[in-house]
Chain A
């Protein structure tokens, strides 16, 4: 009798357990993923933008790739995978369109700020997704080792039977270096002749040219040094910046300093101009400038004919 009762209780408990778990079991069998999206590699990618990367509009290091694997239960069903890029965080807001994606089927990099189909097929498949970051869209991003730009890419695989699966990859970019300057042209060597003496200022022919690559607001300053007949000498107001001409980035705005002005020998240097890097619609991140110089003959004191004044000017770009 006791055993019978115990058996009855056990049966009751078993029935209860079955009743409780049945919906889950049924549900599982019904929603079994007929399609399974797997991130095989590259689920979390990290890279740093350094000076030389700034010369190209697009940043696409070798490790900017995620490998996706699609496993299906129904080999005859066709399926497609969409990508949806989201900007998560960064030194400054960046549009989701800044991170572009590409597969062998899209051929070109595409903007997936809204979900875009990037791959479709039938049966099991494995494919790569490449990324590139459009630096021109970073606006005024500060250089930072601490606060990176973070993008999530949500991948959704859906088959024509309505089954779907979702995975998220993360791309993290540290803007380690945000400004770059490269001098591309120098003023010419010149002679002060008799006719030059009739003016206080001797215009040095040619210009110093440089290009700036930046993903941030910046300011340009100049310092100089003098060799008089090969020996270091004080500039003492001899070299002046006569004028500065700078082309603005698309959407940026340039504020020029006041010229003419003496080129100083030491920091912080003569302020030439600053540029607010501007909008999110920049077409590129390179600007150029030309600086012309003049020599103040009044400042050279008692010189001798045959003397040579040799100037070197150093330009500094500083993130603002």
Chain B
């Protein structure tokens, strides 16, 4: 009985010795820490879309006799002028477009039966982004007018829309637009009349 007790005590002491040795081996050490926080600081998204038309000056064109053989004044398949719509966005968006037309009459000139809303047509030639644009972001969504579409004076039309995915996308998209003139909508004109167009593009957060 006594020997059992001695063995029991011996085992207990051996265990304590092992625990102590392990503690020393593992280098039990206090590690003091302290924390402090900033006050909350806020960033308000005052704007989520930015649009730039590049270039602003699309130049001046002249329709001559040779152009009269065709319905559309479009020196090449991209029309007579192209421009870019650059968009910086951190949201889903829609791009609307409208034009304003002014006519300068030639001396003694007149104009009648001109269909202003059908005179100028627009087509989205390409959509993309700068670095890390849609190619790097296959889930980015566009809808677009890939065909020639009337660009009216009287009402904004939806040109295309884009999405910024929840996972985030580099916030730069770019569209290239082509313009052509529908000579059939010109009605009755005098040579020397000058049609001036101003195109207004609007991006709207959706």
Q: Do A and B bind each other?
A: yes
Stretch of B44-52, B103-111, B147-155, B186-194 contacting A (4+ beta carbons < 8 Å):
B44-52
Residues 275 to 297 of chain A near chain B (Cβ within 8 Å): 295-297
A202 near B30 (CB under 8 angstroms)? no
Which of B39, B45, B165 has the largest number of chain A CB atoms within 10 A? B45
**Separation of A305 and B164 alpha carbons in the complex (Å):** 14
B112 cross-chain contacts in A, Cβ below 8 A: none
Residues on A with C-beta less than 8 A from B37 are 183, 312-315
Let me know if A303 and B30 touch, CB within 8 A. no
B-side interface mostly = loop
Q: Report which of A183, A187, A298, A309 forms a contact with B45, defined as CB distance below 8 A.
A: A309
Interface range on chain B (Cβ under 8 Å from partner): 35 or more
Interface size class of A (residues with CB under 8 A): 35 or more
Q: Does A190 contact B (CB under 8 A)?
A: yes
Q: Tell whether, in the assembled complex, residue B48 and residue A191 are in contact, meaning their CB atoms are under 8 Å apart.
A: no
Q: For the complex, give the distance between the alpha carbons of A318 and B35 in Å.
A: 9
Q: Which residues of A contact B30 (CB under 8 A)?
A: 142-146
- Complex interface bits, B162-182 against A, C-beta within 8 A gives 1, otherwise 0: 011111111110000000000
A192 in contact with B45 given A143-B32, A197-B88 (CB within 8 Å): yes
Known A142-B30, A301-B167, A304-B91; contact A314-B35, beta-carbon cutoff 8 A: yes
- Is A227 a contact partner of B205 (Cβ separation < 8 A)? no
B202 part of interface (Cβ distance < 8 Å): no
Interface string of A226-258 (1 = CB under 8 A from B): 010000000001000000000000000000000
B117–chain A nearest beta-carbon distance, Å: 30
In the complex, identify which listed stretch (A23-31, A81-89, A174-182) lies at the interface while the others stay far away. Answer: A174-182
Contacts of A208 in B (CB 8 A): 38
How far is the CB of B86 from the nearest CB of chain A, in Å?
A: 9
Is B45 a contact partner of A190 (Cβ separation < 8 A)? Answer: no
| Extra pairs beyond A297-B90, A301-B168, A304-B48 (17, CB < 8 Å) | A143-B31, A179-B32, A188-B41, A189-B42, A192-B90, A193-B47, A204-B43, A227-B40, A299-B168, A302-B92, A305-B45, A308-B43, A309-B42, A309-B44, A311-B42, A312-B40, A318-B31
Which B positions have Cβ atoms within 8 angstroms of A? 29-50, 88-92, 163-172, 205
